[in-house]
Structure 1
């Protein structure tokens, strides 16, 4: 969990401006810190240099865009993240160990390697099957208390248990548990996934770790099944439904809204909410 609020603030700035030219000086100034002090604090909190973090996110978010938007050229995707055609190709291959063209050729197939269960392959349903389970909804804004993590999704269960126990006094009948995810674990190293775990609170909450998650139009896929099957189900939505849906994912990030959790039975009912335009 991030303990330094300024590092979390810096990450907000970075993810909101990822398709801009972001310098270390820009981020440090946004946090009202000197460049050199900020670099030390950021590296201590995340284990990455600020430059390396920005570059990694650009490479990974550009790969997600390539996966989700079939009709956008590789050159245009590279330009979106500040690269010329040749520079983007070499930077992408250095980071992902595959060329952009080969990456695009191999995504959106009916199966994919499973990053959490190495001996298993994730297999997907047809577009029509996913389409029958997805609704387009307008969601309200959510005011939440939250904690931010940079790590492995396999730690989610432990992190949620600690988070809910710590904040049990704020639970109400209408309280929602929400995970906001920034990365795709089929693209990002599983130990470097960025995510927020959140709990809705009253708008008058005096707590410090409060933010508003922007609502709007979302494609909502309802999942009712076992926790180990979440990756396969959600990757099917991103690999099969999203690129063929006629929608594009916008600049907001995805949400998992938990409706029911039975940790003993490893069963969960949840909504995968993809922001679309």
Structure 2
């Protein structure tokens, strides 16, 4: 029940600030969720990115204002709802509604109303959630490179980093390294998200690497994680969707002060990805 109230608090904040600045950090804070993780969870639960939902709600409200206030100026609506110019606003408006803001003033024009989201109680738990607990009784040495990521844009930036790594051959280098004397089940290509599971800074280091204990080239570096306990979930996308709303509230665990790790396995593996979440007993 708590998570339901938190998500609706976040939605209330968005609704109250459609005509102003919406702070992504504040949205995540109200939902009691790490800023980096909230957009992923939101997208998985709703099928929309957070920015797309906000954009659609603003354009929906703009359409209501055009219908209800014949004297409102388009340039004022553009500035009110976060657009730099009337032209940019008009293009976005037409993409959603299929008509221009000027035409939308007319009676009988078809427009799209985008309802505000609210989270309600639904039946959960009818689909089992696979996981395992891994207790690693040794330090984890990960070799790779750091990339600076803007927290609010991480949902878009990180896939682009992996695309670039595939293009320039870095992923293949990591694959070759990961096959050398693997030490535990975290044997894939790893994405280490910041320094803690809860990311609150505006930027964080995303470390792209693999488990490796041998000598490595000077263009790479090593991070070491201490002995720790991990909840491991198959399928990264599904895991992000259900971690906070289904597993964590009833698991008897809470997040440890270590980063979450995305573990990408061979394409022919089933599943071909895992989410490693650092946990400690409550």
Quickly name the TM-score band, shorter chain normalised: 0.3 to 0.5
When Rg is computed on C-alpha atoms for both structures, the one with the higher figure is 2
Query: TM-score, normalised to structure 1's length?
Result: 0.47
TM-score, normalised to structure 2, is 0.46
